[in-house]
Amino acid sequence: MSETTERIKCLIIGSGPAGYTAAIYAARADMKPVMYTGMQMGGQLTTTTEVDNFPGYPEGTDGTAMMEDLKKQSERFGTDVRFGMVTAVNLSNEVGGIHKVTIDEDKEIEANTIIISTGATAKYLGLESEMRLIGGGVSACATCDGFFYKGQEVVVVGGGDTAAEEATYLANICSKVYLLVRKDYMKASKAMQHRVDKTENIEVLYNTEVEEVLGTNVVTGVKAINNQTKETKEIAVTGVFIAIGHTPNSDLFKGVLDMDETGYLITQGKTTKTNMPGVFAAGDIQDKEYRQAVTAAGTGCMAALDAERYLGALE
């Protein structure tokens, strides 16, 4: 072990609800966890202005403020929270083996256990107006933010199962939902398409793309274009929900950890165990079904308990 190498019991890669909850439990179990937050400290939730559905906040809270609360709680029990990126991994496939990790292409860490909570990144259209209004009416999570648009008119962008599900969810809350589909058909399952068709306050616009999200500080509408006729029109809405998928932040582990065809890490049964002993995954990196802060926190707890039991079995 070189002078620049640090040996620790538990390394947590990534912050957010999963990482911070894992840190709280790992620290209380005297595992002395070290967390590297990644470039977006606090994860996806820091792009959400208001959080109303996380238990313990009766008046709601701000996403960034909530992540700061979780960070402070993890530090209170002794978590060493560090800003930095894991740039390389060399994982051991032996029970009790040491996992080697490189931080910022420079520092080396050896860890008995690793909890991966790098999350997933929502896909956006890439429009300047869209990026500017994230948190001001543009969202990638209907179940997170839909409540704020009760009785209002909104747009959902996408043609897959996620878009269909978000549109039907919002239709129960909002007065009108415009579903903008880029192609002349939906790629959602037939069952989801039938749900959309049967929902009276959903209007599907095919061959339609968002050219611009309108509004200065908050969304006031979208400028949409028909990609066949090139006709443009403005749709007055207060919310724009982008539902074109997520990308799991798992590139670092390709060819090393088992993952599905889209890159989500595969965990064993009801545990957070990956195919490598002593390596666990929590939060959106292994959950493409729910993607909620509270479910991420739950798996963070599970990962810390799994790691603690793994270490205990070695003693």
Q: What pLDDT does 48 receive?
A: 63
Paired tokens of 100: 């080697």
Q: CA end-to-end span of the chain, whole Å?
A: 22
Write the DSSP symbol of residue 207. T
User: How does pLDDT run across 143-163, given as a tens digit for each residue?
Assistant: 888 999 999 999 999 999 889
Q: What pLDDT does 290 receive?
A: 86
Burial of 28 per CB tally in 10 Å (0-12, 13-18, 19+): middle
Q: Can you list the domains of the chain with their CATH numbers? A: 5-121+246-314 (3.50.50.60), 124-242 (3.50.50.60)
Cβ–Cβ under 8 Å, residues 29 and 124: no
Q: What pLDDT does 18 receive?
A: 96
User: How does pLDDT run across 57-89, given as a tens digit for each residue?
Assistant: 999 888 889 999 999 999 999 999 999 999 999
Residues assigned a catalytic role: 141, 144-145
Percent of the chain with pLDDT over 90: 83
pLDDT level of residue 3 (50, 70, 90 thresholds):
low
Residue 1 predicted with pLDDT over 50: no
Paired tokens of 156: 């959902």
pTM for the predicted model, two decimal places: 0.81
Residue 61 amino acid letter: T
Percent of the chain with pLDDT over 70: 98
